[in-house]
Structure 1
Amino acid sequence: MIPEELLDELDRRLTPVDAARLAAYPGEPSTRQPVHTCYVPADAVVPGLVASWGSAALAALDEHGLPDLGLDPALVEQLLPRVRAKLAGEPVEDLRVDAEDGYRGSPAAEDGDVAAAAAVLAAEPVLPPFVGIRAKSLEEPTRRRGVRSLDLFLTGLAGAGRERAVVTLPKVTAVEQVSAFLAVLDALERTSGLALDLELQVETPQAVLGPDGTATLARMLHAGGGRVTGLHYGTYDYSASLGIAAAHQSSDHPAADAAKEAMQVAVAGTGARAVDGSTNVLPVGTTAQVHAAWQLHAGLVRRALERGFYQGWDLHPAQLVTRYVATYAFFRAALPAAAARLTAYVSRVEGGVLDEPATARALAAVVLRGLDCGALDVAEVERATGLDRRALDGLAGRRPR
């Protein structure tokens, strides 16, 4: 028999290790993750912006019709009414006002444009579930300008009756930038009254690999003191920084996959999410051009979902069509198998697949994501699984925020 004092010593040595691991890796939060982030330049934020994106997406769908997206035609017919309802009711899940690369205004105009964007959003009767701003980076040439724009925007947004907003920090190159930025976020919370989440954009090689050869992403995330909710891949800045020719810069390039896999490993278990980037091939022009852009976009969205990236960027209203078609198809196609395996797991009935708790968590998480975005509804999920939302949350290991 192992002596009791040896077990006590084991507990004494490892209990602090357990506590540190749980603090650093608390698990998946219960909060919804949006399927996308829509970027709009600060000087393009106008009243009715979100509704106009939905209307423009529906108009593009009506004008051009859907091309062959490589999906089961019966599944597409089944989900199109849901997509239309989504575009009419909640076309944008996450809105990011852009005062960085997407904003082309002059430095003299930025104060007015950022403040005006905040005033427009503060007056909107309905806003997306998630709203925030991307300001300029913390590199020396743009540091003070970026913080000033954050202050103007968040102070103006405080009148919208919201409790929380998102700050996206682009072109992060050093762990010290993240830790130094925490004091700025604390001050912005005090002046705006908003709780602020932080997203880090992975757009530079230094964000992935430091000058000493060590992996940087996890250090950046944990330096955020629990504020960091996501690592977002910057498709074009990152590709360009590696010297990849413009014609080959894409979110499915092998270099992109390498960076994004590092992001996934860094966020695993922390409650933060790894987020895919964008495509700059926009669905505009002739029907043939729109169809080609939709086929590209739908393929990239489907590819990202298959690899565990449940959120990406959209830059144009018509991209919402294929964002939701591809996303809804993914979750609706996943439901029958997920429901059967969850039912067998919960009832302990032996079947063709023997699932472990980790797989049950993944199965429940996929169903929950389908519910959150509107691909699935509560009644059909309960019929298929015999489980309600609370039971699924428990199986998925989601923790209260």
Structure 2
Amino acid sequence: MNFDLDPADAAFQAEMRAFIRQALPADIARRGRQGFHATHDDVQTWMRILNARGLAAVHWPRQYGGTDWSPLRRHLFQVELRAAGAPVPDQAALELVGPVIYTFGDEVQKARYLPAILNADTFWCQGFSEPNSGSDLASLKTSAVRDGDHYLVNGQKTWTSEAHKADMMFALVRTDGEARPQAGISFLLIDMKSPGVSVRPIYTINEGLSVNEVFLDNVRVPAENLVGDENRGWGYAKFLLTNERTMSAETPHTAFDLEQVKQIAAVEMRGGRPLIEDPLFAARLARFEIELRALETAVLRVLHMGDNDPALNATASVLKLRGSELRQRIADLAVEALGDHGLAVFPDVEGQDNMDVLAPVPPAPDYAAGWLSRMMFRRATTIYGGANEIQRTIIAKSVLGL
């Protein structure tokens, strides 16, 4: 297989690199390179810059504001975004609920929600997991009972990323308690400002705030916010989760991390010479680069697979499994490469530029900022998007026939 880019694709990548470096505000880029969660304002500012160029959702169909780029060009664009330190956009909106709405939603829903997603006027969170329904999602208990022109929703969602910033939640709810688990679920859009919605933060091991508990107490949701047909939500969720698991390979982010590790190893000294000259360390870097290249190739293959390909779900599970483990291992390597500087904890104040805002900061160089926090948060990569144990079960059943 030839891994060299076609000259036209190489020119496209160079054009996108130049545009991103010119358009991305310097302060936002600096915060992005530190690896903390981006602020709401940074994400909104950057998404609006991209939207003005028609680049907010390059993977969407052109009729809904996307592009006609090939899967390879979409991938190259994501690589350049991350390499520049651009903030991660509202993935719950762009990668998950947006495609569900334009695929299964009605015309009113498309007109109402899609433009607001593209322009970052509306931020979204995903209401799937519950205290006793995580990877076994079909066992969820949150109920939605039809009451005239509304649904009355009661229950609890947990590990809800960015719920504290979100305007809307897309949620799986049980609309038929008598049907088998997968058959009684619907896909509902819930305004987070509705009476009865309350959010409680969950601080993670790195003392950051990105996940939450959401409580739904007699929340009245207009019936027009039902996506598709009642009790068909499980099918929409499977469509969405395939996107999420492909996204969870996170190869552009891993490539960015790996490049930063190389830069660290070039300046950190061991035994009187740069760490990157140590043969054992260089061999570990090479192994990670090979694994990343293989994973990137696998991602491109999935992007070229048809939506009805029977191997799609299992292949997406492989990507999620390999990608999440690789992210953890590279973050571990970065902290190791930093030596004593890897012990410095730079507090993450909602993604603010700690080097300017907070004083005093730990006695460590700028390039150490955020790495210990990143390494600790990476423990979650093998859990979110479907725990890796579940992915192995999917692979065993679908691929190996076990």
TM > 0.5: no
Q: Which structure exhibits the higher relative contact order, with contacts defined as CA atoms closer than 8 Å and separated by 6 or more residues?
A: 1
Q: TM-score, normalised by structure 1?
A: 0.24
